[in-house]
Amino acid sequence: MEKKRVYIAGLGLIGASLALGIRRDHPEVEILGYNRSEESRRIALERGMVDRATADFAAWAPLADVIILAVPIQQTIDFIRELAGLDLKENVLISDAGSTKAEIVAAAEDFLQARPVRFVGAHPMAGSHKTGAASADVNIFENAYYIFTPSSLTKPGTTEELQDLLSGLHARFIEIDAAEHDRVTSQVSHFPHILASSLMEQAAAYSQEHALTQSFAAGGFRDMTRIAESEPGMWTSILLTNPEPILERLEDFKEHLDRVADALRSKDQDRIWNFFEEGRRVRKQMEIHKRAGVDSFYDIFINVPDEEDAILGILELLRGTSVVNIRINEENREDINGILQITFKNREDLEKSAKIVRENTDYQVFLDE
């Protein structure tokens, strides 16, 4: 029996990390790679991510049993169109990694419908602040959602075959309709990016007339604008391939703002209080506070002085305990960011650690409630 051959088109962060993930559980698979850039091909070859690499996408597609398109959204659509004209292996399995799904799935259904291929759209919700093959890391998929969006080109067993191939990612596989994927991500990701960049744009304009705007920007503002530093090209493509759900969320959001403005204009203390209280209540219930499969975090909060080694001192005390998450920011203490937050895997470690810190330091220690 011949080796299974997987062709990964695009050896950026996602493509190269996928290659590493496939290698982990399936060392027997032969991995071919495509990338325009010679540098990326060289890195992928040198690090053994791929067995062979090409700059000619079309030339090698006919060799593959599985083709994964890990290129920007528009190029994904272009490659799907190109695949329709190639003499692919019978029953080849094609997938992608685009952040929006409806346009990509529609392109597949348009161009590949008459072809003897299988296709399932996919969105691995993983990333890093660095890009490129050099940044590849199989860990970026750990516990992340890997979303499949089946369509008429997805045959029985298609997603299962991909899940088996990708088992080494240790991702959370899930299936959802492509249009629904785009609606949900417009709410929790695409539109929030517009909010963040708009707030940044607004504050930048305001600071022209109000010099202390930047100085007084504290933890809340910092957190709300962090994603405004994302890569503009990728987010432009996301907006352009998911306009209706995003515009719908944007117009809906203006109505939410109008309701707050009405309450404020009419000095309606109860409505304003309920608005804030509801936000707090719902967020505390969200999965945001949960870890995969674990109902709640076990957190302690420690007020640490702004001194060298204060953090290290505490972590030294906790050596050997199951710290799973740690977070501090000392820049400005307008809000909870001024505090060292340490998350443990279980209550036993939490309580043991709180006791240790209390006995060995004079810092304030709080348990999460």
Q: Which 38-67 positions form the footprint of a second copy (CB under 8 A)?
A: none
* From 2, 28, 87, 282, residue interacting with a second copy (rule: CB under 8 A): 282
Q: Which stretch binds a second copy (CB under 8 A): 2-10, 47-55, 110-118, 283-291?
A: 283-291
Task: State which residue, 20 or 66, has the beta carbon closest to a second copy.
Answer: 20
For 5, the token pair is: 């051959």
CB atoms within 10 A of CB 126: 21
Q: Which stretch binds a second copy (CB under 8 A): 41-49, 88-96, 152-160, 224-232?
A: 224-232
For 250, the token pair is: 């944007």
* From 9, 104, 166, 228, residue interacting with a second copy (rule: CB under 8 A): 228
Binding pattern to a second copy, positions 314-333, x when CB under 8 A?
Answer: -xx-xxxxxxxxxxxxxxxx
How many Å apart are CA 356 and CA 341, to the nearest integer?
Answer: 15
Helix or strand holding residue 14 (H, E): helix 13-25
**92 three-class SS:** strand
For 340, the token pair is: 């060292």
135 is an interface residue for a second copy by CB under 8 A: yes
Count interface residues toward a second copy (CB under 8 A): 135
Under 8 Å between Cβ of 28 and 3: yes
CB atoms within 10 A of CB 261: 10
192 is an interface residue for a second copy by CB under 8 A: yes
CB of 120 to a second copy, least distance (A): 17
CB of 199 to a second copy, least distance (A): 6
CA 364 from chain centre, in angstroms, equals 34
Task: State which residue, 88 or 318, has the beta carbon closest to a second copy.
Answer: 318
Under 8 Å between Cβ of 66 and 4: yes
* From 155, 291, 352, 358, residue interacting with a second copy (rule: CB under 8 A): 291
CB of 150 to a second copy, least distance (A): 15
**Residue type at position 20:** L
DSSP state of 365: E
84 is an interface residue for a second copy by CB under 8 A: no
* From 63, 84, 311, 356, residue interacting with a second copy (rule: CB under 8 A): 311
Q: Which stretch binds a second copy (CB under 8 A): 4-12, 20-28, 42-50, 190-198?
A: 190-198
CB of 368 to a second copy, least distance (A): 10
214 is an interface residue for a second copy by CB under 8 A: yes
348 is an interface residue for a second copy by CB under 8 A: no
How many Å apart are CA 216 and CA 228, to the nearest integer?
Answer: 18
Task: State which residue, 194 or 356, has the beta carbon closest to a second copy.
Answer: 194
CB of 353 to a second copy, least distance (A): 12
Q: Phi, psi (5° rounding) for residue 277?
A: -65, -40
Residue 166: closest CA among 108, 135, 124, 106: 124
347 is an interface residue for a second copy by CB under 8 A: no
75 is an interface residue for a second copy by CB under 8 A: no
CA 280 from chain centre, in angstroms, equals 24
Task: State which residue, 62 or 132, has the beta carbon closest to a second copy.
Answer: 132
167 is an interface residue for a second copy by CB under 8 A: no
* From 86, 253, 356, 358, residue interacting with a second copy (rule: CB under 8 A): 253
DSSP state of 135: G
Task: State which residue, 256 or 347, has the beta carbon closest to a second copy.
Answer: 256
Helix or strand holding residue 341 (H, E): strand 340-344
SS3 for 114-133 is CCCEEEEEEEECCCCCCCCH
216 is an interface residue for a second copy by CB under 8 A: yes
Cα distances from 363 to residues 213, 219, 326, 358, in angstroms, run 32, 22, 17, 7
